[in-house]
A and B are shown apart, each in its own frame.
Chain A
């Protein structure tokens, strides 16, 4: 359960799902093109034939840009409006796709299947949407508690009591690191909750969140360190980009094309770091389950799906309100066949 090993395995799993990674990237790239291409057309049609536009090649020129926006801003505003709705819609789409992403990691030993991917997207969408809502709520509560608390303590709840801006940095030195720490922790628990929702086919999101939080707290340093490795990789990618960008510049067509490729790679790897986090969370989850329930683990192999089978005991009929969906469906059938269970019971966790 070495976090570095787990993280590297997560990266390895992501590369095994390269086609999924690439398709997701292409989706984002194409959405970006739907904004960039109209923008280029507006710019070309309006000032493309002006001598002034050449001033935008070596660097940003405020006069040229502002005159362009003043004269043609109405056309740009259409593009801006498009971005305004595209971002929240994309977020919904990402929540939808998350089901397939997590399922693909959970069934990594079976390889990537587009059909399974799309089925999982549909199957888990509402649960992931609820999880998203819970996560946003928790993030909001943390922010309100921290910054609201600082406002009450530092300013007595009234900006009129502000005597010096130094209070912002004095309090910020403590609050910002705490906020960052907690925000990352909540996001990490969210990833583990997704793994759990898919692996265990659970439905009550908040219960699984609490369960995942407990697990993360029990193995706090390992889980958090692995997550920090992922964030560090993301920061490193951007640091490298910011280092390279001035060297490449964008003052000629060749340099522009090189930069376009560099930026594309940066975006590809940025998406990758998100997938690495989910992948390593999946590996860590399996390792933790292996550690906590070694006696009833049937198979312990790299990449194998680890299942905790329900002990065969007499069980009561499932309560109607205990699960969201107690209809016997295809997945339950598959599950029973896989587990050689002949008595039908809805799959439950103890």
Chain B
């Protein structure tokens, strides 16, 4: 080959590098059974706020059933009008758009199977969740040619999606910001008999409910997005290539493998910051005015990577994108999608207020519980949100301090785990519903506290009960066994019972169902209390006793000489009470005035439980659950009692109140 040809080959090689940049996957085999695979090409019209696209769905029937229909989510129809189930959930999503451009919808223009059969005319809206006939977020599509078990079928779908103004998770704001999720016709999940408790084969394809999120099968997403040049784009998966088009647009392609969803974002304002954790490329898309938060985003992400890789399992993807929304797009903040999350827009926030870090950690943990362990977020919200909150608490407290991880400003400190517990224990009605309640059955707006925080709290209680090593083994086993699958709550319970029995035998009973029945499926509230301590000095004459010769003599109990019974100075009585209706075995620490301590065990079942001691020393304090394993107890202050109280704390805080009150009074005449 001549020099000029070498030169041309080299030039071509260099040129191809500038057009094509692809990362190879870390793995050589599929991570999941790739059931629902999407090849999508879409064009964003920034004037009309529409996406016009073509979707080639390749669906693998891994069930033993012949499938005669498909069901799809058309999530964007939730934003079509106020009659949708989603918007009937009301004003929690802020101000609704006041013009036509602000509303969203999704239309299927045409749907054909691989045989050319037009399926469009058979499409009908259904309402499997709440019978709202005006809701259009789920369709069923009868098939001309059913799909047999083990077969793969292809469907060619033309669609138009109209993005709404961002009032919840997805849409546009102004000309500058697009956050695009649930934007394409998305297939539901077919569950065969026995799968997730199904009594017979069924489609699991719920309407879009305000209190729930999403559920889908794993697959490969090969997505091509065409939009005006000048936008910075971020998306799930791995960037493949970018082509500049002649009409002032550009086309970007991403591939995401073994994921359950595909989200993307575009903004003219993003600054791009790149970082790395081991082999994972981290990409932060941040608003210029939030640039000061970059380190918070990146450091907290790395902490989460490190902790979960050590305590749960390996993060298998090669990319992770964090999107920092602008303030006017705040309704898209705090959400999780495969390998892409949104953080929290925060401006000039004090370093001791770690909301940015907490949200970032929380959304990252969802990569494990929601994305890889793809439980049904609508039916069992607790399985992903509660688990995620539990790990958010653990990671935050580990790296930022148990008592100061959430806020640490000027002597005011709050821990993330602490706040999570108090969210539940401070509820006006903690019995409102069990954790296992399906998302759409929460009517009173307390779903977040029960599903997120109560779940995290009983998990923390379980951790303290069985020990952190056993808890880690439970979660590692659960993750390894159920990643890239769709587990249910009973699957998790089975893993927990298996691991605890293996490591602790019958220490907690034959299984932990007595625990899970109360905390997951019940509404019992935990509250143990030390009701009283009574130390009675035994100085009174008691009566007639036999002396060592067997003669009956009257005596004072202090006079022990020559008598059979040795008499103690104090007869101390402790009364414990189970105020709540949750039953847990507890430890009770009793401390005497000579410093000696006795650790008792109580099964926690009786409403009242008495401990009696006859000793030379009196009791000075009693503490139920001294190691605070039982964090579900709604009042930890009544778990202990002392006969020698220290009034210094009361004096301290009363003097603070006095100071603040005087300041408040004097402030009234600051300007007069």
Q: List residues of A whose CB falls within 8 A of some B CB.
A: 28-29, 31-33, 35-37, 39-40, 43-44, 46-54, 56-57, 59-64, 66-68, 70-71, 83, 86-88, 90-91, 94-95, 98, 132, 135, 139, 160, 162-166, 168-169, 183, 186-187, 190, 250, 252-253, 256, 259-260, 263, 266-267, 270-271, 274
Output the least CB separation between B177 and chain A (Å): 9
Which of B345, B347, B657, B664 is packed against the most chain A CB atoms within 10 Å? B657
A46–B651 alpha-carbon span in the complex (Å): 14
Pick from B79-87, B611-619, B636-644 the stretch touching chain A. B636-644
In this assembly, does B412 line the interface, its C-beta being within 8 Å of a C-beta of chain A?
yes
Chain B residues, CB < 8 A from A186: 671
Q: Which one of A66, A83, A86, A132 has the greatest number of beta carbons of chain B within 10 Å?
A: A66
Contact yes or no, A62 B418, CB < 8 A: yes
Cross-chain contact B672 with A132 (CB below 8 angstroms): yes
Contacts of B403 on A, CB cut-off 8 Å? 61-62
How many Å from the CB of A95 to the closest CB on chain B?
7
The 8 closest A-B CB pairs, nearest first, are A165-B347, A40-B654, A36-B658, A51-B640, A32-B661, A91-B668, A166-B289, A56-B649
Chain B contacts with A in 621-642, Cβ cutoff 8 A: 621, 623, 634-642
Q: Are A67 and B637 in contact (CB under 8 A)?
A: yes
**Given the contacts A44-B647, A48-B647, A62 and B657 also touching, CB distance less than 8 Å:** no
CB distance from B94 to the nearest CB of A (A): 11
- A91 contacts across to B, CB distance below 8 A: 668-669
Binding site for A on B (CB under 8 A): 174, 176, 287-289, 326-328, 345, 347-348, 403, 411-415, 418-419, 421-422, 425-426, 621, 623, 634-643, 645-659, 661-666, 668-672
> What 20 new A-B contacts, CB under 8 Å, besides A62-B413, A88-B668?
A32-B657, A43-B654, A44-B650, A49-B641, A51-B641, A57-B648, A62-B418, A63-B422, A70-B425, A87-B665, A90-B668, A162-B327, A163-B174, A163-B328, A186-B671, A250-B656, A263-B658, A267-B663, A267-B666, A270-B663
Q: Is there contact, CB below 8 Å, between B672 and A187?
A: yes
Q: Which residues of A contact B328 (CB under 8 A)?
A: 160, 162-163
Chain A residues closer than 8 Å to B661, beta-carbon distance: 31-32, 35-36, 83
Are B653's CB and A135's CB within 8 A?
no
A166 with B347: CB separation less than 8 A? yes
Q: Is the CB of A36 within 8 A of B425?
A: no
Q: Give Cα A191–Cα B463 distance, bound, in whole angstroms.
A: 64
Asked whether A60 and B642 contact (CB < 8 A) given A51-B623, A67-B637, A267-B659, the answer is no
Minimum C-beta distance from A100 to chain B (A): 14
Contact of A33 among B421, B647, B658 (CB under 8 A): B658
CB closest chain-B residue, reference A273: B666
Find chain A residues with CB under 8 A from B658 CB: 29, 32-33, 35-36, 260, 263
Residues of A close to B659: CB separation below 8 A:
32, 263, 266-267
* B643 and chain A: residue at smallest CB distance: A49
**Chain B nearest CB, measured from A99 CB (Å):** 13
CB-contact partner of A60 in B411, B426, B646, under 8 A: B411
A320–B158 Cα distance when bound, in Å, is 88
Residue in contact with B636 in the complex, picked from A60, A63, A98, A274, CB distance below 8 Å: A63
Given contacts A62-B414, A252-B648, A259-B655, contact A50 B422 (CB under 8 A): no
Say whether, besides A53-B637, A67-B425, A190-B672, A29 and B649 are in contact (CB < 8 Å): no
Contacts of B326 in A (CB 8 A): 163-164
What is the chain A residue whose CB lies nearest that of B428? A70
Closest residue to A35 on the B side, CB-wise? Answer: B661
Q: Are B426 and A66 in contact (CB under 8 A)?
A: yes
Q: Which of A40, A64, A70 contacts B651 (CB 8 A)?
A: A40
Q: What is the bound-complex CA distance between A91 and B672, given in angstroms?
A: 10
Residues of B within 8 A of A252 (CB): 648
Partner of B638, one of A71, A139, A162, A163: A71
CB-based A-B contact count at 8 angstroms? 189
B637 in complex: contacting residue of A52, A160, A253, CB < 8 Å: A52
B640 touches A52 (CB 8 A): yes
Residues of the B chain whose Cβ atoms lie less than 8 Å from the Cβ of A64? 636-637
Chain B residues with CB under 8 A of A51: 621, 623, 640-642
Across the interface, which residues of A come within 8 angstroms of B648, CB to CB? 57, 252-253, 256
Query: Using Cβ atoms and an 8 Å threshold, which residues of chain A touch B345?
Result: 165
A57 with B652: CB separation less than 8 A: yes
Chain A residues near B669 (CB, 8 Å)?
91, 94, 274
Check A53/B665 contact, CB under 8 A, given A63-B422, A187-B672: no
Q: How distant is B484 from chain A, measured CB to nearest CB, in Å?
A: 38
Alpha-carbon distance A68/B648, docked complex (angstroms): 17
B641 and A66 form a contact (CB under 8 A): no
- The answer to whether B645 and A48 have CB atoms under 8 Å apart is yes
* A contact residues around B348 at 8 Å (CB): 165, 169
Does A260 contact B413, Cβ atoms closer than 8 Å? no
- Residues of chain B with a CB closer than 8 A to A63's CB: 418, 421-422, 636
Pick the most buried of A87, A135, A163, A267: most chain B CB atoms within 10 A of its CB.
A163
The reply to whether A68 and B657 contact each other, CB–CB distance below 8 Å, is: no
Give A12 to B646 CA distance when docked, in angstroms.
Answer: 44
- Does B413 lie within 8 Å of A59, measured CB to CB? yes
Can you list 9 A-B pairs with a CB-CB distance of less than 8 A?
Answer: A39-B657, A47-B638, A57-B646, A60-B413, A62-B415, A63-B422, A70-B635, A250-B656, A263-B659
Chain B residues within an 8 Å CB radius of A54: 646, 649
Establish whether residues A29 and B662, one from each chain, have CB atoms under 8 Å apart when the complex forms: yes
B347 and chain A: residue at smallest CB distance:
A165
* Closest A residue by C-beta to B406: A62
For the complex, give the distance between the alpha carbons of A139 and B669 in Å. 13
Closest Cβ–Cβ distance, residue B592 to chain A (whole Å): 15
B572, chain A: closest CB distance, angstroms: 16
A59–B422 alpha-carbon span in the complex (Å): 19
Across the two chains, which residue of chain B brings its CB closest to A98? B672
Complex Cα distance, B414 from A186, in Å, reads 40
Residue of A nearest to B414 (CB): A62
**Cα A33 to Cα B662 with chains together (Å):** 9
Q: A28-B666, A63-B422, A68-B637 are in contact. Are A40 and B650 (CB under 8 A)?
A: yes
Residues from chain A with Cβ under 8 Å of B668 in the complex: 87-88, 90-91, 94
Most buried by A among B411, B640, B666: B666
**Contact (Cβ within 8 A) A67 B651:** no
Closest to A266 in B: B659
State A159–B419 Cα separation when bound (angstroms): 31
CA separation between A250 and B634, bound complex, in Å?
Answer: 28
Contact yes or no, B657 A36, CB < 8 A: yes
A271: chain B residues at CB < 8 Å are: 666
Closest Cβ of chain A to B623, distance in Å, is 6
Closest to B621 in A: A51
B residues within 8 A CB of A56?
649, 652-653
Q: Shortest CB–CB separation between residue B445 and chain A, in angstroms?
A: 19
CA distance A314 to B454 in the complex (A): 87
Chain B nearest Cβ from A233, distance in angstroms = 14
| Bound form: Cα–Cα A133–B661 in Å | 24
Known contacts A62-B419, A68-B637: does B655 contact A253 (CB below 8 Å)?
A: no
A52: nearest chain-B partner, CB-CB: B637
Contact residue among B621, B642, B650, B672 (Cβ-Cβ distance under 8 Å from A43): B650
Please judge, given known A-B contacts A31-B665, A62-B418, A163-B174, whether A50 and B638 are in contact too, CB under 8 Å: yes
Contacts of B638 in A (CB 8 A): 47, 50, 71
A46 to chain B: closest residue by CB: B637
Whether A165 pairs with B662 at a CB distance below 8 angstroms is no
**Residues in chain B near residue A68, CB distance under 8 A:** 637
> Complex: how many Å from CA A36 to CA B665?
13
| Cβ B665 vs Cβ A43 within 8 A | no
Q: Is the beta-carbon distance between B662 and A28 smaller than 8 angstroms?
A: yes
In the complex the two chains form, is B653's CB within 8 Å of A43's CB? yes
Given contacts A47-B637, A50-B642, A60-B411, contact A270 B666 (CB under 8 A): yes
Q: Given contacts A32-B658, A68-B637, A164-B327, is CB(A183)–CB(B671) below 8 Å?
A: yes
Q: How far does the Cβ of B671 sit from chain A's closest Cβ, in whole Å? A: 4
